[in-house]
Amino acid sequence: MLAQRSQVAHGGATARALDYSLKRWQALTRFIDDGRLPIDNNWIENQIRPIAIAHKNWLFAGSLLAGQRAATIMSLIQSAKLNGHDPHAYLRDMLQRLPTHKVSQIGELLPHRWVPAVS
């Protein structure tokens, strides 16, 4: 890539693309040294696509605080999905338990630690 870059005129689209890659070379090749790392980020890109597509809708959340609350709920929903939970069941159970749950044990209600209440 360095050899190709030396043959490309400065300022062009190809030069910018090569410069972009070269500046990030260490991060781009990190997966070679750690087999646990995926070669691409397609999976996570697909997970956040619904949020990215609807980003203009967040302009009309009403206020900064309302937007932050919407982002928190969206994060909980996606985290519940990633942890194999039905988001509706998770939110319903968590919101029913929340008012009487001990503050010191609030972490138990996060999606990665949540265990459904026994009915």
- Averaged over successive runs of 10 residues, the pLDDT of the chain (119 residues) comes to 92 93 91 88 82 73 83 88 93 93 93 86
Domain chopping of the chain, boundaries: 2-33, 44-109
Q: At 16, which helix (H) or strand (E)? A: helix 13-23
Q: How far is CA 89 from CA 52, 95, 105, 110, in A?
A: 25, 10, 20, 13
pTM of the model: 0.55
Question: What per-residue confidence (pLDDT) applies to 119?
Answer: 63
